Amino acid sequence: MTYNEETAYYRMINHLIAAHDFTFVRANEDLRVCWLERKRNGIVQMVRLTSRTFAWANHLKRDILKAASDIQQMTKGIFAKKVQIHNVYFGDQGPADEWSKLKKPMIIKSRRPIPMQTYYLDRDTYQSEMEKLFRHLKLSDSVSLVSDEERSDEKLEMEKSRLRSLLVQQQQADQAVFHRKKPLLVYVFIGISLLLFLIEVLLGGSTNSAVLIDLGAKYNPLILAENQWWRIITSMFLHIGALHLMTNMLSLYYLGTLTEQVFGHRRFFFVYLLGGIIGGLASFAFSQNLSAGASGAIFGLFGALLYFGTVYPKLFWRTIGNGLIVILLINLVISFAASHVIDVYAHLGGLIGGFASAMLVGMPGKKSLTARVGGALLSLVLIAGLLVYGLLGPVNTALHEGLKAEAAYKQDDYQMVIQHATGALDKGGSDAARLPLFYRGLAYSQTGELEKAIQDYDRLVRLTPEDPAVHYNLARILQINGQEEESLRHAKRAAELDSSNKQYQQLVQELSQ
């Protein structure tokens, strides 16, 4: 019985995969360098196996440093608190010169220090080095690394064939996870969004607030006043502007096709809608702004794929993990940086809602009652919590007062308008200030308090500079107050913003005479 380094190399790989639940991470083209990994008790054990004889210590040192560099890149996506690296060489003999220092453990500088132990199995040391490796890996068995010299070629081919078979099995299992179903519903959702966008354009434009409200955008005043909760769903399929539509549809195509392939049609449908609904409720609870778009549901797909990563962590980090996390972080940074135009609440709500809904429906072939119950409870808590906060929280409490001010204005009760509008402004922030300022300013103009009316509308113009009705009302109040030059400026702006409104045009002509 003799030691053949190549046969021993393949036999060790096959043994670790078959007997100890190590998974294949990657290898070079000729399979002479192979990476394996497993996780035990929160510790990630990575084993790098190399079949090569090093004649000189300097050559071995260069390869060890290359391994350390590779490890720095490979461990970026590993979030375990502890990572251990075992760098194992199989050679006919050791380097000719002094190399004992290279056997000492080294610390690789990464996000956190990573220890790496080097082993060199040659014809003199294979047994002791194997025992040390198994001891460090906490494996209780052993593997024979010697074979009959007369059948060494046959044994080598057998071990190679066995490894190829294991790798093919693992590759097929990975592909099965990512290709359960061909995407279908994602195209349906994209088609609905494109069709509704065409309708928006035909009715007056996708940036026209009146068109968006008529077609079902999320609009808190109508949700509260007329219980139009269906807007939480319909707003997912409307978009504000061509750029908004294009970016969302591209994101939906790439994330949606992947998610539908992983989760299947029914689970994808549920995750997309529930993630979008929770995102819409978050927007309702924390923002009074008119909003529309699929981004809440798209962030729900991010959440679902993160849940996939908790079920298949090795496959996740080996394939989509790093890229997905980077894209998600970039999108979150953009959301917060541009929160004045982006509905960041819908994004965050959709992200958490997508994770919860993925827990609820579960992964195909993975039956976990605990996860499903947890997903159901988390989804219910999110929906109930957002509804309660949305109805009783400061944003919509102030809106309630604003709606009362609107009702009082229609009844010509201007003192009650001022009372309710002032109460709304005291309770809410700038997001909730638009409606009460609009009606309080009108009420002040009716009671003769023109300076107060002008102050309210000056503030309102800063909040909603693109609202033609605000500019028109301010122009009328300024006209009454004798400030005709300033009145003309706002009248012209109203006419620019809505050139089809005859009232605005008439006021411009009247002030221009």
Q: Which residues are catalytic?
A: 295, 347
- The candidate with the shortest Cα–Cα distance to 90, out of 8, 173, 210, 202, is 8
Strand partners, 291: 218
Distance CA(52)–CA(155), nearest Å, equals: 18
What DSSP letter does each residue of 194-252 carry, written as one string?
A: HHHHHHHHHHT-TT-HHHHHHHT-B-HHHHHHH--TTHHHHGGG--SSHHHHHHHHHHH
Report whether 193 contacts 200 (CB < 8 A).
Answer: no
How far CA 328 is from CA of 97, 256, 300, in Å, comes to 51, 14, 11
- The candidate with the shortest Cα–Cα distance to 296, out of 311, 282, 315, is 282
Report whether 5 contacts 122 (CB < 8 A).
Answer: yes
Cross-sheet strand order for the sheet of 23-27 = 23-27, 33-40, 43-51, 82-90, 114-121, 106-108
> DSSP class of residue 393?
S
Distance CA(110)–CA(46), nearest Å, equals: 15
Three-state secondary structure call for residue 108: strand
Distance CA(434)–CA(325), nearest Å, equals: 37
Distance CA(238)–CA(233), nearest Å, equals: 10
Distance CA(476)–CA(462), nearest Å, equals: 17
Pairing outcome for strands 146-147 and 2-3: antiparallel
Q: Is the dihedral of CA 503, 506, 510, 511 positive or negative?
A: positive
- The candidate with the shortest Cα–Cα distance to 87, out of 73, 105, 109, is 105
Pairing outcome for strands 82-90 and 43-51: parallel
Distance CA(287)–CA(291), nearest Å, equals: 9
Distance CA(62)–CA(57), nearest Å, equals: 9
